[in-house]
Amino acid sequence: MSDLNSIFLTGRLVGDPDIRYTPQGNEVAQFRIAVNTNFKSKQDPNKWQEETSFITIIAWNRLADKVEKTFKKGNLVLVEGRLRIREYEVDGNKKYATEVVARNLKLIVGKGEKEVEIEEATNENEPDVPFA
């Protein structure tokens, strides 16, 4: 049986996407989303608490182009992708970055607004380039 690495998230962009290009000309978009999780308080089971996680999302090539043209700070989005943990060094110290490499993205809009779905079937052309 093959391993499964798939993640679905909804959250709001905490800033406009950062668009860059690799030396090979591949477009890459990076943005962060705030994902809220509600849970019952340990001290008072009748109270709910909220925890916010800030997740880095990476989109490549055609998907990155759509992100650049469509997404902006505050947008509510649905992200489907895979979890990636990268290791890199800064001044001789090992650092780790946890991020989601997007496969599909959807802009979730309010009533009366136009819905935009951004899909990329495969990431076969995705370079394995660190984006720190």
26 Cα distance to chain centroid: 18
Residue 127 falls inside a structural domain: no
pTM: 0.81
DSSP 63: H
Residue 16 falls inside a structural domain: yes
pLDDT tens figures, 39-63: 888 888 889 989 999 999 999 999 9
What is the domain extent for residue 65?
A: 7-40+49-119
125, HSE (Cβ side, Cα atoms, 13 Å) = 14
Distance of alpha carbon 33 from alpha carbon 98, whole angstroms: 13
pLDDT tens figures, 57-93: 999 999 999 999 999 999 999 999 999 999 999 999 9
- In this structure, the chain runs to a length of 132
Residue 129 falls inside a structural domain: no
Residue 63 falls inside a structural domain: yes
List the CATH number of the domain containing 94: 2.40.50.140
Confidence band, pLDDT 50/70/90 cuts, at residue 117:
low
Kindly tell me if the per-residue pLDDT of 17 is higher than 90. yes
What's the confidence (pLDDT) of residue 40? 87
The SS3 call for residue 50 is: strand
- At residue 66, what are phi and psi to the nearest 5 degrees? -65, -40
- At residue 44, what are phi and psi to the nearest 5 degrees? -135, 100
Q: How is residue 22 written in tokens?
A: 């690799």
